[in-house]
Each structure stands twice: as C-alpha cells, then as structure tokens.
Amino acid sequence: MSAAPRKDPVAVEAEVREKIHLEILKRTGAYHANDHVLLPSGQHTSEYIEKTLVTTEPSFTEGLGAVIAKHFAQWPVDVVVSTGPGALILSHCVARAHPSRPIVIYGTKGMSAGKRRVTLPVEFQRLLRPATRALVIEDLVSSGSTVNLLMQLVEQLGAQVVGVGCLWRRTSVDLDGRPVFSLVSRDFPTYRPDECPLCRKGTPLNEEFVHRRHHRRPSSVQETRTE
Ligand SMILES: [Zn+2]
C-alpha cells in the first residue's frame, strides 16, 4: 500500500488562510459564490465581489489590515499609499498595525482623454521624498492598471515602492513583477451567455448587480434653501 502524496505544509497553510479570508469577505456580504451573476460586461459568472461592501465591518477590516501589515512588517515603511479614497479604510488599518507607524496618503482616480489617470494631491506629493519607503494598498486588484500607475507616480516623485498589499487580486494580473501580497488570489471564470454552463443547467440568472445601477432608491439629497 502506498501512502497518498503529501502536500507541502506551507502551501496547505496558505490555502487554509485564503479560505478563512474568503469566508470573512463572505460574511461582510461582499463575496457571492455559487451564484449565476450577470456582469455589467454582459458576461456571466458564478462568483462576484461587491467592492463597496468589503470594508463595512470594522473588526474584519482591522483584522485583514493587520494580516497585510504583518506580511510587510520586516520592511520599514514610511508611507502607506492608498490607491484612492475607496481603499483608505483598509490602508488606515494596515498603517495602524505596521510596526514602522507609517503615515497614510491617498491618490485620486479619474479619466483624462479616455485614459485612466491617477494623481496625488500636492499636499501628499510633498510627503514623498527621495528614499521614502512606500507601501501601496488597494482593496481589489482586477486589471492592475490603477496600482501600476500609482507605483509609477510614487517612483517619479523619488520614493521607493516596498510592495503592494491588497484584499483580493486576480491571479493572472501583472504588477510589473513587484512584491505583491494578497489575502485572496483568485480568478473568477466568466462566460459568454451562449457558452455559460450555468445557463445550460437552467440556473436562474441574478441580474441584481447590473440592474441595481438603474433602479436605485434616491442616492443623494440636495440642499434646498427656503429663505
Ligand atoms: Zn449564464
């Protein structure tokens, strides 16, 4: 009788940890699995992550931020750079838990002439000096373009990028060969409707994430002057 091949214990531990992190994201309501979701692109998928919900549970965010900070604890970090206001809560939690007690700044994303653009407010640019060590934080890395642009900007200002930390990233995404630490690294397979195995099985299609954009309850209020 031959023994079953044993898995590398380090790989098993990483796998278990990733499952725990995914479970935490599921408990925030951000991660949907075993579903049949219509994406804004028109493609179908069985898994979906709602970006706006990932940091709604303070104790979870603090815990996840501490895991990222622990990974980068061996390197001194002067500044945590959030990719934008969206990743700022996570960035704060990472900075709070890092032994170097770094400060936190954030970029702003936008489009300019049809191209993605990332900028840093002037006040923040002044905090990046030559030899400043920066840790870039993003919540979800999907195409990697925002993170790549931000790293370029940070380096143009003379600072040095220690690494990139995130909650989740697509395994296939390329971040210029930088040291990346993600709590969950996963690709969600997406299908064209005519090739979708879930459609073939007759699973009802969840159109909530696409239609919610159009059938929203009032999302803003305006100040009205009654003088
Ligand atoms: Zn389908």
Task: Give the span between the Cα atoms of 124 and 121, in whole angstroms.
Answer: 5
CA distances for 27 relative to 33, 47, 54, 105, 181, angstroms? 12, 15, 10, 28, 22
Give 208 Cα–ligand 1 centroid separation in angstroms.
14
Comparing CA positions, the residue from 148, 145, 142 lying closest to residue 172 is 142
What residues have their beta carbon closer than 5 A to ion ligand 1?
Answer: 44, 196, 198-199
What tens digit of pLDDT does each residue of 66-83 get? 999 999 999 999 999 999
Task: Give the span between the Cα atoms of 39 and 142, in whole angstroms.
Answer: 14
The answer to whether 146 touches 116, Cβ cutoff 8 Å, is: yes
Task: Give the span between the Cα atoms of 45 and 15, in whole angstroms.
Answer: 22
Give 124 Cα–ligand 1 centroid separation in angstroms.
45
What tens digit of pLDDT does each residue of 155-199 get? 999 999 999 999 999 888 888 888 999 999 988 889 999 999 999
Largest CA-CA distance found in the chain, in angstroms, rounded: 89
Average pLDDT over residues 4-8: 73
The answer to whether 88 touches 110, Cβ cutoff 8 Å, is: no
Task: Give the span between the Cα atoms of 183 and 20, in whole angstroms.
Answer: 9
